[in-house]
Amino acid sequence: AWQCTAGKEFAWNLLSLLTTTGMLFLEVSLLAFLLQGNQYSGLEALMRTLIISGIIVCFDFFLK
């Protein structure tokens, strides 16, 4: 039922890619947020975190 059958390789590969990308986004977001310290307000820190994470995840996505 959960095994990759002959006609579903693309779906499983896409699911795997999206899951891996999501985990990388969360990890990079956490590190980027922690490295900012108390220098910025909440909204500014959130925007910087999302921008940094988005750039790294897009770069990784295109490499794969």
Could you report the per-residue pLDDT of 4-54, keeping only the tens digit for each? Answer: 677 788 888 888 888 998 999 888 888 888 887 777 777 888 888 888 888
Dist CA 23 CA 25 (whole Å): 5
| DSSP H helical ranges for 1-64 | 9-36, 42-63
Q: Is the pTM of this model over 0.85?
A: no
State pLDDT tens for residues 28-38. Answer: 888 888 887 77
Q: Where are the domains of the chain?
A: 25-64
Q: Which positions ≥6 away from 48 have C-beta within 8 Å?
A: 32, 36, 40
Work out whether the CA dihedral 8, 14, 17, 23 comes out positive or negative.
negative
